[in-house]
């Protein structure tokens, strides 16, 4: 049977999932807690990584290598770039890039390192499944590039720069590092985010206000995805 990794960055992003799963077995490992469980007959392993690219890469690796997950779903919140995205709206990544990765001094494009790629695509089957789940739930679901970096963006200039350089629709702090790990280990992966703020001067306040409600939107959708996975 398939084992599905479910990851968030913050406790709030996985708490609504832990409330709904059954037969939870907790394991402390490498400075974090991992929860193996079942949901509607499916086997899952759940963790929140802590914020940022390094912690999320570590957690994704452990979910795959130690807990034997063969697919990874990420659930969480993001700052919206696309003006059509409002607080609570859902977006899935068709690809992810690292907006803070910069060796342009050597003539490379932003987000690129040799033997890597600027934009890492997510699994097309999981994306298709997400659209059918969205249709069943009757909720709109955007798809686009999500830009990742080790920065909480609360600045319209930085946000516009990311939008222009990477053609990004939303931004966050973990998706692309999870993508690097899953690509390297040949694990299909999926990144879902609900908008918590618009990465502008109000972003800090909005994030604190909407983190919990937006994280819940994303988590509930992810559980429907788990149920729909064959």
* Residues near ligand ADE (CB under 6 A): 77-79, 152-154, 171-173, 196-197, 199, 203, 207
Catalytic-labelled residue, pool 12, 13, 36, 172: 13
Minimum separation from the CB atom of position 87 to ligand ADE (A): 10
DSSP assignment of 197-219 equals E-SSTTHHHHHHHHHHHHHHHHH
Spatial contact of 168 and 81, defined as CB atoms under 8 Å apart = yes
Toward ligand ADE, which CB reaches closer, 120 or 195? Answer: 195
Q: In the bound complex, what is the minimum distance in angstroms from residue 28's beta carbon to ligand ADE?
A: 27
Shortest distance (Å) from residue 10 CB to ligand ADE: 9
Nearer to ligand ADE, 120 or 173 (CB): 173
Cα–Cα distance for residue pair 37/203, rounded to 1 Å: 34
User: One of 12, 36, 172, 197 is an active-site residue; which one?
Assistant: 197
**Residue number, 8 or 39, with CB nearest to ligand ADE:** 8
On whether the CB atoms of residues 211 and 11 are closer than 8 A, the answer is no
Q: Cβ(110)–Cβ(43) under 8 Å?
A: no
172 is catalytic: no
Q: Is position 150 annotated as part of the catalytic site?
A: no
d(C-alpha 7, C-alpha 47), whole Å: 5
3-state secondary structure of 103: coil
Residue 64 or 203 with smaller CB distance to ligand ADE: 203
Crossing angle of helices 11-18/203-228, nearest 10°?
30
Q: Which residue is nearest to ligand ADE (CB)?
A: 79
Q: Minimum distance from CB of 161 to ligand ADE (Å)?
A: 13
152 contacts: CB under 8 Å, gap ≥ 6: 173, 203, 204, 207
CB 18 within 8 A of CB 24: yes
Residue 65 or 202 having the CB closest to ligand ADE: 202
Smallest distance, Å, CB 200 to ligand ADE?
8
Question: What CA–CA distance (Å, rounded) separates 80 from 83?
Answer: 7
Question: What amino acid positions are annotated as catalytic residues?
Answer: 13, 197
């Amino acid at each position: 049977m398939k084992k599905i990794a479910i990851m968030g960055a913050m406790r709030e992003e996985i708490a609504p999932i832990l409330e709904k799963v059954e037969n939870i077995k907790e394991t402390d490992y490498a400075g974090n807690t991992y929860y193996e469980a079942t949901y509607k007959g499916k086997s899952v392993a759940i963790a929140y990584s802590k914020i940022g690219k390094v912690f999320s890469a570590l957690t994704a690796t452990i979910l795959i290598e130690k807990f034997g997950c063969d697919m990874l779903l990420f659930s969480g919140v993001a700052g919206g770039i696309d003006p059509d995205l409002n607080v609570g709206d859902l977006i899935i990544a068709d690809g992810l890039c690292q907006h803070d990765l910069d060796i342009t001094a050597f003539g490379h494009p932003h987000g690129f390192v040799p033997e890597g790629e600027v934009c890492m695509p997510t699994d097309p089957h999981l994306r298709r499944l997400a659209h059918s789940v969205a249709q069943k739930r009757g909720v709109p679901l955007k798809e686009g590039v999500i830009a990742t970096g080790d920065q909480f963006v609360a600045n319209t200039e930085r946000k516009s720069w990311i939008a222009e350089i990477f053609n990004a629709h939303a931004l966050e702090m973990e998706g692309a590092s999870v993508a690097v790990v899953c690509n390297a280990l040949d694990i299909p992966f999926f990144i879902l985010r609900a908008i918590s703020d618009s990465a502008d001067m109000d972003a800090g306040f909005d994030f604190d206000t909407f983190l919990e409600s937006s994280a819940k939107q994303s988590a509930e959708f992810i559980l429907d995805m788990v149920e729909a996975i064959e």
